[in-house]
Structure 1
């Protein structure tokens, strides 16, 4: 029996070590041959992994390290640095919030510096974004460790906080564009699948049209139910009533504008309406007035989950869409996966035409077939006569700048945009007027942007808005 258990334990340990080695190799290694030209998505997985690592460290600093430093009586250079500027708060809760915010800023600033350096590096070497990742992770961790010895004021609580506010607002504006684009692409993708199925078998495309109709009706019903619940739980003051009323008016406005013309779709309008309802909920739960917010002082788990979920959806969509050729303005250039390698002069014009499209085009069914059709041209790869990859400027800088802006937004989302409210607590630091107004303003931007996409083709019929 002991020998059997030993064999099982040995096998399990071997599987674990093999899986861990494979994971570390995937995260830190360079799995592309040196002759494969880098694409716009080079290093994307490892860059996002570093972002997740920085968020994990920020949570540890905010909810672990900061309360520990406030609670201990030891006074040294590190504790004094973490409590710098926080001594003026009268209660331990507010001191923990202050120290926790600056702990988040330490991790976020390290990530921001890393992504800026990574963006600069591609100007000198195109393959820099996919190489030397073990050293890059070590560099990031050393930055975090070094910032632990830097006082809060003025680097974190003053300089970085204001930089992060600007970056966070930029990301919010871009996030609204992403969700409007997502709403359109969701509908267009299902319509394209319906047409494709209909061309293969008569009547088989109806299921996709039914799915569009059912999804649209379901989202509209959820929005209406959400409005009723918002009035019931958060309608105790004029500010919240105004937010909810404006949300309903804007939702009706976008739906009427969509039904009035041929632009947009019912599914897109329902997605935008549901998204606006979620943003309205996030805004009213940030209200620091106890009369307006019955959840004040407690753990608003639902709001946090919604906020994190929206951020994950946005990051995932941005991560793929920003690598699309039309988004980055790249044509006929190379892709990280080798789907659109540089075509040598010996290849035919037809082969060049096949290899013209590369990257990821969101919800474009035809792009898959085009990529497969151009597979033969891409599979040939570079010949032995081809020289090394030239160190020309790469579009990878856009990926790193996007992640730098995301870092600013995440740090602001975790710290209530740098405001510490006496009515909030460490479990829900996002409560505050700054967060409330920024969230509701982002809702207005998203709704007005969608309305513009509906009315602009009618106001300027001679211009191409496709």
Structure 2
């Protein structure tokens, strides 16, 4: 009865959903899988589960205490229950990342849905969900004491890669947003779109300025914190530079769709990355948001910067999954292949409403995106959410706080420079390479 009712309920929900392309529905299902993995990982951080987690092999096999330093010379012992949630998150995300890596491996070289492997990519969802979460649950039984340290470095590298992918997605979103509103303003001569464009730009610059001021107030001191001062000041200067470059006459001539709205989005995101970087500074005098060790108190908590990071992560995953021509996973195709996929999408869209198929195949001639690269992006997304949920902490650190990790600090600040550099290159590339089409 439960199986019948559940199947009927799912069928009714599917009937209520609008028709869509096969490539879009598949990306959405993998995004749902990733979001469910993130939710499952977050649940393990609940204080009410600590007693249950303590009985699992990854705790009973590991050392029962960690050595830390409450002060410069005072050594204290910490029960491993303080990081049980973090250890569980590492293992769940490891299993999920292995699933996406396996999918990326078996999808190498797929050119169209006529390939026999297309049924694996676009179907067998029940089996794939069982495999993904079976791998995640099975990873909980990994007993190696060095597992957390190894996964931290793998997570740092994967997190860096996904931040760069996230930068590409945000840059694409900024251009799409500005072009859409400006086109509506020109076609409809509606001043409301122009006012909304100006208001959104002004608001984001105000938030960026407020963020800079708050960073100087809380993460710097007049006679100390020179590294934080350099990070904040340098990224402020970079934000001003790209904002000025975006409205230069030479840039506007070659790229008329550039403007201050895109610069405002990228500047605000850069300020967030700066905040995230200085929040991992191991210098306790310059980091008021540190989470200190305290015996008998579980520290599996979120701070504001990581909550914002998870929200941005979720929005980027959904945006890249819904976008009809996901260029992040199509960068390995030439213009001819990309044009063919877009034409196939349009033709399928025209006939999609004429039949009764809820999901139709739009990849019979050529895939709309690289399936293998798409799964690799989801591997990095899994590693990023793993590091975000664990506050980018360093396992068995002798520091007196969880979220101080010098390696993650440098990864985030370098990511901010690469992000704003990538956006700056998108502005000046038509000037540097006048014979190439950057549209």
Instruction: Output the CA distance in 2 between the equivalents of 1:234 and 1:88.
Output: 29
Higher relative contact order (CA 8 A, sep 6+): 2
**Aligned pairs, number:** 393
Tell me by how many angstroms 1:105 deviates: 1.9
Deviations 1:363-393 (A, max 9, x none): xxxxxxx679x624884699xxxxxx89999
Name the counterpart of 2:24.
41
SS at match of 1:297: coil
Contact 2:91 2:136 (8 Å CA) reproduced: yes
- Whether the 8 Å CA contact 2:277–2:412 is kept in 1: the answer is yes
Matched, 1:289 2:280: no
Q: Is the 8 A contact 1:287 1:431 kept in 2?
A: yes
Query: Is the 8 Å Cα contact of residues 110 and 140 (structure 1) preserved in structure 2?
Result: yes
Please give the alpha-carbon distance, in whole angstroms, between the structure 2 residues aligned to 1:423 and 1:173.
29
Q: Residue 131 in 1 paired to residue 108 in 2?
A: no
Residue 429 (structure 2) pairs with residue 456 (structure 1): yes
Deviations 1:102-151 (A, max 9, x none): 32121112111222333345564212233222222222333233222221
In 1, distance between residues paired with 2:131 and 2:186?
Answer: 51
Contact 2:211 2:271 in 1 (8 A): yes
CA contact (8 A) 1:66 1:99 kept: no
Work out the CA distance in 1 between the residues paired with 2:160 and 2:234.
22
Shift of 1:64: 4.6
Look up the SS of the partner of 2:91 in the other structure.
helix
TM-score with structure 1 setting the length: 0.72
Q: 1:62-461, aligned counterparts within 5 Å?
A: 62-64=45-47, 67-68=50-51, 79-81=59-61, 84=62, 87-89=65-67, 93=78, 95-96=80-81, 98-122=83-107, 124-154=116-146, 156-198=147-189, 205-236=190-221, 237-261=225-249, 262=252, 263=255, 264-297=258-291, 301-321=303-323, 323-324=325-326, 328=330, 329=333, 330-331=337-338, 356-358=343-345, 375-376=350-351, 379=354, 395-417=370-392, 419-420=394-395, 421-423=397-399, 429-461=402-434
CA distance in 1, matches of 2:368, 2:382: 24
CA distance in 2, matches of 1:332, 1:176: 24
Q: CA deviation at 1:92?
A: 5.9
- 8 Å CA contact 2:169, 2:320 repeated in 1: yes
Moved more, 121-130 or 235-244: 121-130
Q: Which residue of 1 aligns with 2:35?
A: 52
Residue 8 (structure 1) aligns with: none
8 Å CA contact 1:86, 1:99 repeated in 2: no
Deviates more, 1:50-59 or 1:316-325: 316-325
RMSD value, Cα: 3.9
For the 8 Å contact 2:280–2:406, the answer to whether it is kept is yes
Q: 1:247·1:276 contact (CA, 8 Å) conserved in 2?
A: yes
Contact 1:257-1:454 within 8 A present in 2 as well: yes
CA offsets 1:287-340 (integer angstroms, 9 cap, x no match): 232211222237663212221122122212222337548963455778xxxxxx
Do the aligned residues in 1 keep the contact of 2:393 with 2:403 (CA within 8 Å)?
no
TM-score by length of 2: 0.76
Q: Which runs of 5+ in 2 are unaligned?
A: 69-75, 111-115, 293-300, 358-363
Give the direction of change, closer, same or farther, for the CA distance of 1:449–1:151 in structure 2 (3 Å limit).
same
* Structure with max Cα Rg: 1
State whether residues 40 and 396 of structure 1, in contact with CA within 8 Å, keep that contact through their aligned partners in structure 2.
no
Unaligned residue ranges in structure 1 (runs of 5+): 1-13, 199-204, 335-354, 359-369, 383-388
> Could you say if the C-alpha distance between residues 220 and 78 of structure 1 is closer, same or farther in structure 2, counting changes exceeding 3 Å?
closer
Contact 2:27 2:322 in 1 (8 A): no
Task: Provide the residue aligned with 1:346 in structure 2.
Answer: none
Aligned partner of residue 41 in structure 1, secondary structure: helix
Q: Which residue of 2 aligns with 1:386?
A: none
Q: Is the 8 A contact 1:284 1:436 kept in 2?
A: yes
